[in-house]
Amino acid sequence: MTDTRRRVRVWGLVAQQAAARGGRVSAADVCAAVVPGVAVSGAWLSAARDAQAGHLMQVTDEVGGQLADLQLTLGEGPSLDASVSGGPVLASDLADWESASRWPAFAPAASSAGAAAVFVFPLVIGAIRAGVLGLYRDQPGPLSDFQLGDALVFADTATMLLLDAQDGAAGGAAARTGPGGQPAGLASRRAEVDQATGMLTEQLGVSITDAFARLRAYAYVNDIQLADVARDIVARRLRLFPDPDLPLADKA
Amino acid sequence: MDGQLLSETFVELTDTMVADFDIIDFLHVLTERSVELLDVSAAGLLLADPRGELRVVAASSEAARLLELFQLQSDQGPCLDCFRSGQPVAAADLSAGQRWPRFAAAADQAGFRAVQALPMRLRDQVIGALNLFRATAGPFDAEVVHIGQALADVATISLLHERSMRRTDTLNEQLQTALNSRVVIEQAKGKLAERLGIDVNQAFTLLRDQARNRNQRLSDLARALVDGTQAITVPASGTPRASRPRTGQPRPGPRPVP
């Protein structure tokens, strides 16, 4: 029961977008690739860091941009709900009673803008928040199970690319690739990684987002699997230290 | 079978579901009650992620959690067969069978000899499995299987607690929210373990006790802890925070809590 093939396939579609535009792979490429990838009409992507408000980073068409704007203007909508819950918001028919009662202002406005269904995926790893990926269709109807699975993997990919981009801007070292050219850490969702990230917030006195960046950077620099670094940290065989001038870590 | 305990358990579980409850916390309670009620050694619960993988979301003990993980990694075992077939799968004596050699060896190491896997079904869809582990070999009573299946059904229903149960979208929203809550809780366990110098299992117990004392959802407290908007400073053992750092290294620089 593995989703490696699905991840590699999705990564391939994203990388194709980057190649077509002649640039390095970024979260914007996810936005472009997910539209044909899960058969939706358009997409938008907002980037956020920690608890700060997000900013619109990419839209694939005018309607996508309007949907993102409407939610900011109206102060309600699936993006906000997804950010709060940490789970996706799947509204396969904006005209139904469910959507109307959830978003009395947004639902009719979104319909007028040309959207019939909206699917929003928070770009999160636990308490780490990197933004949201929004999709819309001009016809009502749910994502199939297969499309939903793909959309979640597109969202995972966007999350890692946004975190990488932030690290790059902050002078971090996590913007690397792992097996198959995918961002390191995408494939290793293990409880130990999450626990180690939490431990590092205390060891380093940093936010959960920065702690995850440091964890990944350490794994990369020392050429160790992320899961193995995490296991050593949780077992207290390894500590990391805050001062960047000191060696990154010592074996305890 | 203790009839009193049985009815109390179902009352407790259904009571919990009425309010705005925490799915991960609920599923943990469910695995713990399964152990007490069905006289097994441990219980674990797997849910299917639409990405195409199974995820361990709750386990009554660390040994059970690791064995569930082992099944996922080695891609064999009764819980996987149960999930794939949608039918209960029993292994009365793991040491005797050749069906899952790698799993049997890992189970033996963890101290388990018998397994009963029960499907979590919603209409025609299998969304996960509840797995019962026992330290002694031998068949599981029909009653244990029967009540275990009822507990698995309660776990299924708990994922549909909000809004309309007719929406297929609801299940997927709840499932993903629960899976992300699981990650937040792991992050909070790590933070708390490091701060208080305790292990992650003690941190989980403390986190859950504190959430109950504060009448707060487990995942909400976990998130607030990780975000730094709430703190837990009193360790269960009474060990002062100043007992750290444990390595004897001076703590370099201030330690702002965000």
User: The domain B3-161 is classified under which CATH number: 2.60.40.420, 3.30.450.40, 3.40.50.620, 3.40.30.10?
Assistant: 3.30.450.40
Residues of B in contact with A234 (CB under 8 A): 190, 200
> Block means of pLDDT (10 residues each) for chain B, length 258 residues?
82 74 88 93 92 88 84 86 94 87 90 94 88 95 94 86 61 89 95 95 93 91 94 60 39 40
Interface contact B169-A242, CB threshold 8 A: no
Percent of residues, chain A, with pLDDT higher than 70: 85
User: What confidence score (pLDDT) does residue A53 get?
Assistant: 63
User: What confidence score (pLDDT) does residue B253 get?
Assistant: 40
Sign of CA dihedral B224, B228, B229, B232: positive
Interface contact B52-A88, CB threshold 8 A: no
Least reliable range by pLDDT among A56-60, A133-137, B21-25, B236-240? B236-240
Residues of A in contact with B175 (CB under 8 A): 87
Average pLDDT of chain A to the nearest whole number: 86
Mean pLDDT of A198-225: 93
Q: Return phi, psi of residue A244, to 5°.
A: -70, -15
Same CATH fold assignment for domains B3-161 and B172-236: no
- Closest chain B residue to A244 measured between Cα atoms? B252
Mean pLDDT of A57-86: 93
Percent of residues, chain A, with pLDDT higher than 90: 71
B69, B187, B249: residue with CB nearest A198: B187
Chain A interface test: which of B79, B160, B194, B219 (most A C-beta within 10 Å): B194
The alpha-carbon gap from A28 to the nearest alpha carbon of chain B, in Å, equals: 21
A80-101 pLDDT per residue, tens: 999 888 999 999 999 999 899 9
Residues of A in contact with B195 (CB under 8 A): 202
Interface contact A198-B75, CB threshold 8 A: no
Interface contact B52-A3, CB threshold 8 A: yes
Contact status of A92 with chain B (Cβ, < 8 Å): yes
Q: Classify the phi-psi angles of B219: left when phi > 0, otherwise alpha if psi is within -120 to 50, otherwise beta.
A: alpha
Instruction: List the one residue out of B159, B176, B22, B249 whose CA is nearest residue A82.
Output: B176
| Residue type at B48 in one-letter notation | A
Indicate the fold that domain B172-236 takes in CATH.
Arc Repressor Mutant, subunit A (1.10.10)
Q: Return phi, psi of residue A145, to 5°.
A: -55, -40
B57-75 pLDDT per residue, tens: 999 988 888 888 888 878 8
The alpha-carbon gap from B19 to the nearest alpha carbon of chain A, in Å, equals: 17
B72, B169, B228: residue with CB nearest A1: B72
Contact status of A138 with chain B (Cβ, < 8 Å): no
pLDDT bin (cut points 50, 70, 90) of residue A186 is very low
Residues of A in contact with B59 (CB under 8 A): none
B50, B192, B254: residue with CB nearest A149: B50
- Closest chain A residue to B241 measured between Cα atoms? A202
Contact status of B167 with chain A (Cβ, < 8 Å): yes
Distance from C-alpha of B202 to C-alpha of B218, rounded to nearest angstrom: 15
Interface contact B191-A201, CB threshold 8 A: yes
Residues of B in contact with A85 (CB under 8 A): 173, 177
pLDDT at A169 over 90: no
User: What confidence score (pLDDT) does residue A203 get?
Assistant: 95
Contact status of A246 with chain B (Cβ, < 8 Å): yes
B51, B186, B195: residue with CB nearest A195: B186
Distance from C-alpha of A231 to C-alpha of A206, rounded to nearest angstrom: 20
Interface contact A195-B190, CB threshold 8 A: yes
Contact status of A122 with chain B (Cβ, < 8 Å): yes
Pairing relationship of beta strands B42-49 and B125-134 according to DSSP bridges: antiparallel
Q: How many CB pairs under 8 A join A and B?
A: 147
Class of domain A188-251: mainly alpha
Domain boundaries, chain B: 3-161, 172-236
Structure tokens at A242: 């805050």
Interface pTM, i.e. ipTM: 0.89
Contacting residues for A57 by C-beta, under 8 A, at least 6 apart: A27, A28, A31, A45, A46, A47, A131
Domain boundaries, chain A: 4-169, 188-251
Specify the residue for token string 């869809």: B125
Which superfamily is assigned to A4-169 in CATH?
GAF domain (3.30.450.40)
User: What confidence score (pLDDT) does residue B234 get?
Assistant: 65
Contact status of B250 with chain A (Cβ, < 8 Å): no
Interface contact A122-B195, CB threshold 8 A: no
Task: Name beta bridge partners: A177.
Answer: A183
Residues of B in contact with A149 (CB under 8 A): 50-52
Residues of A in contact with B193 (CB under 8 A): 195, 198-199
DSSP string, chain A: ---HHHHHHHHHHHHHHHHHHTS---HHHHHHHHHHHTT-SEEEEEE--TTSPPEEEEESSHHHHHHHHHHHHHS-SHHHHHHHHSS-EEES-TTSHHHHHH-TTHHHHHHHHT-SEEEEEEEEETTEEEEEEEEEESS--PPPHHHHHHHHHHHHHHHHHHHHHHHHHTT-S---B-GGGPBTTSS---HHHHHHHHHHHHHHT--HHHHHHHHHHHHHHTT--HHHHHHHHHTTSEEE-S-TTS-SEEE-
pTM for this predicted structure: 0.86
User: What confidence score (pLDDT) does residue A51 get?
Assistant: 59
Interface contact A198-B256, CB threshold 8 A: no
Interface contact B52-A1, CB threshold 8 A: yes
Pairing relationship of beta strands B89-91 and B114-122 according to DSSP bridges: antiparallel
Distance from C-alpha of A249 to C-alpha of A252, rounded to nearest angstrom: 9
Q: Please, is B58 exposed, middle or buried when counting C-beta atoms within 10 Å of its C-beta (0-12, 13-18, 19+)? A: buried
Interface contact A205-B256, CB threshold 8 A: yes
The alpha-carbon gap from A141 to the nearest alpha carbon of chain B, in Å, equals: 11
Interface contact A203-B194, CB threshold 8 A: yes
Q: Please, is A83 exposed, middle or buried when counting C-beta atoms within 10 Å of its C-beta (0-12, 13-18, 19+)? A: buried
Mean pLDDT of A34-50: 92
